[in-house]
Amino acid sequence: AAKNKKEKKKKVKAPLNYVPLDPPFVVNFTADTDIRFLQITVEVGTRQAEAVERIKEHRPAIRNALVMLFGSQDPYALGSREGKEKLRAETLAEIQKVMKEETGDPGVENVFFTSFVMQ
């Protein structure tokens, strides 16, 4: 029974490391709407300590992919919680794609929008 307890303890998740993708993203919307731009602050989460430096190293490629993603959004869809959650999922997929292409490992398991402003 003691062995089973030790095995269970080994399965405890590593702490989540947060990596900010500073500075905040600012993109113009191309659609002819009252909402002209989006400012969004993004942080990524990884449980792999070694991934933190890889994320920082490839920040320019990640930022480029996200600028393209954010600029192509429908501002009205982003007004709802569902729209923001969909964008969050797309953002995670985009970051994982870049990291997989550059390092062979997606490395990132979560994305957080720490500020989200549309005007």
pLDDT digits (tens, 9 = 90+) for 58-75: 999 999 999 999 999 999
Count of the separate structural domains present in the chain: 1
Residue 8 lies in a domain: no
Q: What is the pLDDT of residue 26?
A: 97
Res. 95 pLDDT band, cuts 50 70 90: very high
Better-predicted residue by pLDDT, 58 or 14: 58
Domain range for 70 is 14-118
C-alpha–C-alpha distance, residues 112 and 45, integer Å: 8
Residue 2 lies in a domain: no
C-alpha–C-alpha distance, residues 62 and 51, integer Å: 14
- What is the Cα 88 distance to its own chain's centre? 7
Residue 72 lies in a domain: yes
Domain CATH code at residue 113: 3.30.479.30
Residue 43 lies in a domain: yes
Look-up of token digits 């500075």: 23
Q: What is the pLDDT of residue 4?
A: 55
Residue 96 lies in a domain: yes
Residue 92 lies in a domain: yes
Ordered DSSP codes for 5-54: HHHHHHTSPPPPEEEE--S-EEEE--SSSS--EEEEEEEEEES-HHHHHH
